[in-house]
Structure 1
Amino acid sequence: MNRIDKLFSRKQSDILSIYFTGGFPHRDSTVDIIKALADGGIDMIEVGVPFSDPMADGPVIQESSTIALRNGMNLHLLLDQVEEARRTVTEIPMVLMGYLNPMMQYGIEPLFKRCKEAGIDALIIPDLPFHEYMRDIRELCRKYDLPMIMLITPETSDERIKLIDENCDGFIYMVSAAATTGTRDSFGEAQLDYFRHVNSLDLSHKRLIGFGISNPSTLGEAFTYASGAIIGSLFIKCLGRTSSPAEAVSLLKSTIGIA
């Protein structure tokens, strides 16, 4: 059973997934960040592949990508670091999140093979069109037991949401708004209506809400309307403000109000 399925089988709600950009703040930070997140009781980890044009990301993650690339991070090195972290962090699901261009340069099937070897449990490619996933990628996901996590937004049609639910595994990434990543003080009524509507579709896969979760209020709403939350920009800020990954995890947890 995939580590994501194992997580969902033992924990039904209040799941917390944390994103960080590989190579930020330093090229060799990856292993220490993964260990600190594991020690801090985080449920799932999203490892970001830095890219020069991260179109779905706001200024905080964009800047972290710029710094990571300047530090010499690349996909080959990042997967080596994940594999090193897996020697001690054995149970927590890890998702590789990145844009299509670096992954195509690596080679899609070689990437799947290497991800499996390194201990990655799923992939998120925000700019992968769904029809290309269906045509070219879905069978690789099944061959290597590496689900492709698809994003939905308030603009995604019910028909497309149901197609994703029927043809993808892992979980569904609910983007809170049709905007880039970044912290927000609260979710508006339109966003809450969107969360409620998706819940009314009776989907078979769990949903995690991401984009904009930065305080106890937005975290609580994500936990109320989905199985969990994904936090990225806030944690990147914490990494930039502290002297160690462990301190960054502590600052993150105190900011969002969890023990």
Structure 2
Amino acid sequence: MNRIDQAFSKKKGVLNIYFTAGYPALEDTLRIAKDLEDAGADMLEIGMPFSDPVADGPTIQESSQQALENGMTIERLFEQLKDLRKEVSIPVLLMGYVNPIIQFGVKQFCNKCEEVGVDGVIIPDLPMQEYLDSYQTHFKQKGIHNIFLISPNTSEDRIKEIDRNSGGFIYVVSSSSITGAKKGVQDGQVEYYKRIQSMDLDNPQLIGFGISDKQTFETACNYSDGAIIGSAFIKKLMQGSDKDSIKEFVKSIKGIK
């Protein structure tokens, strides 16, 4: 069984934390992954930096730019992750954009994901039909879940179609904005969460965008299987990326003293 499926079969309130590969320093990727698991994260989402990250806000854009300047590439990331499963046991996803993956080679990308132990990918700008027509076979052969996103503007028919063609979980974007753009739970978001919850979808759901602290995490968990935190953690890394700082951050989200 895929590690993502195992995680959801064991618990609710899954905490998935995003960080950018090669940030703050080029060789920090595996260390931060291990520190996050040790601190209590349930799932990891490693960002593959890209020069035009359309879904990302200024905080993640800044980290991506720094990572690129540090020399991070998809090739280097896979080199860094070759010992991933010696250090990390929780599910790991890669998040990125479709052009660099196509340039790397989709089949080769899937092969490398399987080789290092990556469990799923999030590619916000990959159209579902293109995935189904051209790439699904490669992903399924290697047991890699492709995670689709929905937003408040996604119709119920489209959500059901995404549910039918998803694996792992559905990424519920909390608002129609970029990452890190809003803080707290905005008017109308709870109604949106309730609407998705009432659809009784086959796949688990994680809520992302605007999840930044214990309150927003707990609110998301009330209406889904957990949540994704990105920009808030990157901001923490900007202040300090040592093991104790990472542990403090995860504990603050989970309300652990």
> Smaller-chain TM-score range?
over 0.9
- Return 5+ residue gaps in structure 1 as ranges: none
The separation in 2 between residues aligned to 1:62 and 1:47, in whole angstroms, is: 14
Residue of structure 2 equivalent to 1:151: 149
Range moving further from structure 2, 178-187 or 15-24: 178-187
**Native 8 Å contact 1:183 1:214 kept in 2:** no
- CA deviation vs aligned residue, 1:64-93 (integer Å, no higher than 9, x gap): 00000000000011112122232121x200
Alignment partner, residue 10 of structure 2: 10
For the aligned residue pairs, the C-alpha RMSD in angstroms reads 1.2
Aligned to 1:22: 21
Give the secondary structure class of the aligned counterpart of 2:27. Answer: coil
Partner of 2:40: 41
1:63 is matched with 62
Kindly state the Cα deviation for residue 135 of structure 1 after the two structures are TM-superposed: 0.9
Q: Give the match for residue 52 of structure 1.
A: 51
Name the stretch that deviates more: 226-235 or 176-185.
176-185
Instruction: Report the equivalent of 1:114.
Output: 112
**How high is the TM-score relative to the length of structure 1?**
0.96
Query: 2:188 corresponds to which letter in structure 1?
Result: A
* C-alpha distance in 2 between matches for 1:256 and 1:201: 28
* Equivalent residue number for residue 211 of structure 2: 213
Contact 1:183-1:234 within 8 A present in 2 as well: no
Alignment TM-score, normalising by the size of structure 2: 0.96
Return the letter of the residue paired with 1:252: F
Kindly provide the amino acid, as one letter, of the partner of residue 171 in structure 1: F
Identity %: 46
Match of 2:245 in 1: 248
Shift of 1:255: 4.2
1:252: Cα distance to partner? 1.7
Q: Output the amino acid matched with 1:249.
A: I
Number of corresponding residues: 256
Give 1:258 deviation, angstroms: 2.2
Aligned-pair distance for 1:243?
Answer: 4.7
Q: Structure 1 residues 243 and 46, CA, compared in 2 at 3 Å: closer, same or farther?
A: closer
* Residues in 2 aligned to 1:189 and 1:2: alpha-carbon distance in whole angstroms: 36
Aligned position for 1:258: 255
List structure 1 runs of 4+ shifted beyond 4 angstroms: none
Separation of aligned partners in 2, 1:231 and 1:77: 24
Any conservation in 2 of the 1:154–1:178 contact (CA below 8 Å)?
A: yes
* Aligned residue in 1 for 2:225: 227
CA separation of 1:126 and 1:86: change in aligned 2, threshold 3 A:
same
- Superposed, which structure 2 residues align to 1:83-94 within 5 Å? 83-89=82-88, 91-94=89-92
Tell me which residue corresponds to 1:133.
Answer: 131
What SS class does the counterpart of residue 245 from structure 2 fall into? helix
